[in-house]
Amino acid sequence: MTSSNRPVVVTGASGFLAAWILPKLIARGHSVVAVDIAREETRLRHVMRGAAPEGIIWQLADLTDDGLMSRIAEQYAASTILHLAALQIPACRAHPIAGAKVNVVGHVAVLEAARSVGARVVYTSSVAAKPRGAANAPANLYGVFKRADEEIARLYAEDFGVASFGLRPHVVYGIGRDQGETSAVTSAMRAAALGTSYTVPWTTATCFQFADDIAEMFVRVVEAEWKGAHLADMTDNVESTADIIAAIRASAPEADVCADGPERLSPTSGFDVAALEKVIGPRPLTPLHEGVQRTIEHFRALHAKGLT
Ligand X SMILES: NC(=O)c1ccc[n+]([C@@H]2O[C@H](COP(=O)([O-])OP(=O)(O)OC[C@H]3O[C@@H](n4cnc5c(N)ncnc54)[C@H](O)[C@@H]3O)[C@@H](O)[C@H]2O)c1
Cβ atoms within 10 Å of 146's Cβ, excluding its own: 26
Q: Is position 179 an interface residue for ligand X (rule: CB under 6 A)?
A: yes
Would you tell me how many other CB atoms lie within 10 Å of the CB of residue 77?
Answer: 16
Candidates 59, 80, 164, 182; binder of ligand X (CB under 6 A) is 182
Q: 131 or 195, CB closer to ligand X?
A: 131
90-109 residues near ligand X, rule: CB under 6 A:
102, 106
Torsion over CA: 97, 214, 280, 33 (sign):
positive
Does 171 interact with ligand X (rule: CB under 6 A)? yes
If binding means CB under 6 A, how many residues of this protein chain bind ligand X?
Answer: 29
> Cα separation of 46 and 176, whole Å?
7
- Residue 16 touching ligand X (CB under 6 A): yes
In angstroms, the CA 190 to CA 308 distance is: 9
Residue whose CB is less far from ligand X, 213 or 248:
213
Q: Which residue is nearest to ligand X (CB)?
A: 15
Rounded Cα distance, 128 and 88, in Å: 10
Beta bridge partners of 10: 34, 82
Tell me, what amino acid is at 269?
S
The size of the chain, in residues, is: 308
Min. distance of Cβ 305 from ligand X in angstroms?
Answer: 22
Q: How far is the CB of 194 from ligand X (least distance, A)?
A: 21
Tell me how far, at minimum, the Cβ of 254 lies from ligand X, in Å.
27
Interface with ligand X (CB under 6 A): 11-12, 14-18, 36-38, 62-64, 84-88, 102, 106, 124, 126, 169, 171-172, 177, 179-180, 182
